[in-house]
Chain A
C-alpha cells in the first residue's frame, strides 16, 4: 500500500495527521508498558481481531529469512491462557522502545510504524536464584514493524513483526515480546 511519511504538517490537515500520528505512538508505547507489566490481555486488547504476530530473523548461517514464531489473535489467546500451565523462566523482561517512523496511508485509515526495541531480562528464577537473581542482562535486540488501523478513535494493531538481530537465543521465552 502506498504510504506517505509524516514529519508534522502545518494547518488543519497537519493537526489531524499529527493527532493520528500521536495515537499510533501512544499505542506502541502502551503496548510496551503492558508487555513489560505482563498484562497480556490488556496488550491483546490493543490488537484487532485479525491481528497477526511474528518473530523473525535473517539467518546468515542458512541464508534464510526465518520465522521463529507466527501467531494469529486466536493463537495468542491460547498461548496466553496456557502460560500459567507451563514451566517458565519468570525473570521479568522490560523493553526500551523508540518509535522511529510513522507512515500513514493516503486515506488516513492505517499506519505503518518502525520502532527500535531493546529487551532486557532481569534474572529471578531462570538458573540459580541465589547467585543470579537481581542481575539484568541484554536479552533481545531488534525492531518492531507494526501495522495499525484506526477504529473508533483509537489505533488498533493489525500486525506486529519483531525482527531480531541477536540469534543466539539461549533458553528462549514463552512470553509475547
Chain B
C-alpha cells in the first residue's frame, strides 16, 4: 500500500479486535492516574531483594504509586513494609535509600524509626513507641497506640524478592505469581541469592511500553547479537506462555554464547538445577521482568512517574555463596548485555524513548499493532495481547477504545 492519507492512517487496521490498541493508553493523564489507583495500588510489587537489608534493623526505602514505602528487617529477622510517612504531620520518616536503624539518629534512639521533625519513634513492627511530650500535648485524648504506622502487605518470596502490596485484601502472592514462577521455583529457592547490580533509568516513555518490549522478542532485529548470531530453529521455537493475571513466561533454550562475536562460552557458571546457558523470562503484570540468562538473573521493576515518564530499576542477582571469581564472572556476563554500558540495554531504552517521543500527552491517537500470530512462539505478540486484556479488565476500559468499557476479546470479535 502506498503512503496513506489522514483518513487511511487513522482507520482501524485489518486485524481482529485485541490485535491492536489505542495509543491513548500511553498518553492520557486521566488513564495514567486511574492506573495508579486501580492497578499499582492493588498489585504485588517486588520493591527490593532481601539481600539489600541483610541484618536486623536494616532498611530500604522505595515507593509505589506515589506513596513512599519503607521496608525494614526486625530483630526477629522478619521483613516488614510500611508507608514511610509519619502519622503526625506527614513527614517522610526515612530519607536515605538504605541503611540501618541500629545506630541512633540526631532526633532519635537506636533501634527505632524516628521522624526527624518532632522525634516520634516507631519500632520495627510499626508500633509507635514514643511521642515527644505526649501527655503535655494530647493529655488522654490521643496516645501512642492510636498512631502506629500504616502496615503494608509484605512477603519475601520467589528467590528472596521483597514483595509489597498497598491493598489490605490483595490476591495472595502465591496465587498472584506462583504459576509463572514455577519454571524457576526450584532454582530460585535452592539457596540464598544476592544482588550485585543496581542502577536506574528515568526515560520519557510510558511504563507499559517498557513492559511491552520485555514481552516481545520481535525486537531482536534491534540487537546485533540477537539478529546476527542468536537466530536458529530452537530460538524461534520458544513459546510465549500466558498465565492468569496478565503474566507471561518465555520458555528456555540453550544460548550459544560462544557464537556471539567477542564473547566466550558461558557454560561454566549457571544456577542450581539448571543446565548451562538457559534463558527463561518471566513478565509479570503490570511491569516487572525476571530474566535468567545463563549465569545472571536480571530483574526490572517499573515505577510510573507520568503518562510519559517512567523509572526503571535494574538489578543483577547471583548466588550469595559465589566465590569472588564466580561473582565477577556473573557481573561481567550481566553487564556485557544488560548493564548501562552493555550492548542491548542501551538499544532497548532508545527504542522505548523513541516510542515516547511519538506518543506523549497531546499526540494524536493512533493504533499500536499487537497482531503478530506465530503459534505463540517467540515473535508472536500474544504476550502483549494477553497483557492488555488483563489491563482492560482492571481498568474496565477497552484497550482499542479506552472510552468504552471492557469487553472480553472473544465477545468483541463475535460482535
Q: Which residues of A approach B to under 8 Å, CB–CB?
A: 55, 59-64, 66-70, 75, 78-79, 81-82, 85-89, 126-128, 167-174, 177
Q: How far apart are B161's CB and chain A's nearest CB, in angstroms? A: 13
Question: Could you tell me the distance between the alpha carbons of A79 and B335 in the complex, rounded to whole angstroms?
Answer: 13
B288 within 8 A of A: no
* Closest Cβ neighbor of A66 among chain B residues: B197
The answer to whether A170 and B224 touch (CB under 8 A), given A60-B97, A67-B335, A68-B199, is no
**Is the contact region of chain A dominated by helix, strand, or loop, or is it mixed?**
loop
Interface stretch, picked from B32-40, B289-297, B339-347, is B339-347
Given contacts A127-B204, A170-B202, A171-B350, contact A63 B52 (CB under 8 A): yes
Task: Collect the chain B residues with CB atoms within 8 Å of residue A61's CB.
Answer: 52, 60, 97-98, 198
Question: Nearest CB to that of B228 among chain A residues?
Answer: A85
A89 to chain B, nearest CB (A): 6
B346 lies within 8 A of A167 (CB): no
User: For residue A131, which residue of chain B has the nearest CB?
Assistant: B357
Residues of A within 8 A of B262 (CB): 75, 78-79, 81-82
B261→A82 contact, CB < 8 A: yes
Do residues A168 and B200 form an inter-chain contact, with CB atoms below 8 A? yes
Instruction: Tell me the residues in window 44-64 of chain B with beta carbons closer than 8 Å to chain A beta carbons.
Output: 49, 51-52, 60
Counting CB contacts under 8 A, is B412 at the interface?
no
Cβ of B231 to closest chain A Cβ, rounded Å: 15
Tell me whether A87 and B196 are in contact in the complex, defined as CB-CB below 8 angstroms, given that A172-B339, A173-B341 are known contacts.
no
Inter-chain contacts of A168 with B (CB < 8 A): 199-202
Residue of A nearest to B51 (CB): A62
Residue in A60, A67, A88 whose beta carbon sits within 8 Å of that of B331 in the complex: A67
Please, which residues of chain B bring their CB within 8 A of the CB of A174?
341, 343, 346
Specify which chain B residues have a CB less than 8 angstroms from the CB of A127 in the assembled complex. 204, 353-354, 357
Contact of B200 among A60, A87, A167 (CB under 8 A): A167
Nearest A residue to B224 via CB reads A85
On whether A82 and B224 interact (CB within 8 A), knowing A64-B195, A89-B346, A128-B357, the answer reads yes
CA distance A136 to B410 in the complex (A): 51
- Smallest CB-CB separation from A174: which chain B residue? B346
Which of chain A's residues have a CB closer than 8 A to the CB of B98?
Answer: 60-63
Nearest residue, chain B, Cβ from A130 = B357
Closest CB in chain A relative to B331 CB, distance in Å: 5
Q: Is A62's CB under 8 angstroms from B52's CB?
A: yes
Cα A64 to Cα B96 in complex, Å, equals 15
**Other A-B pairs beyond A64-B197, A69-B336, A170-B203, 13, CB < 8 Å:** A61-B98, A62-B98, A67-B332, A68-B197, A69-B339, A85-B228, A88-B347, A128-B357, A167-B199, A169-B199, A170-B202, A172-B201, A172-B342
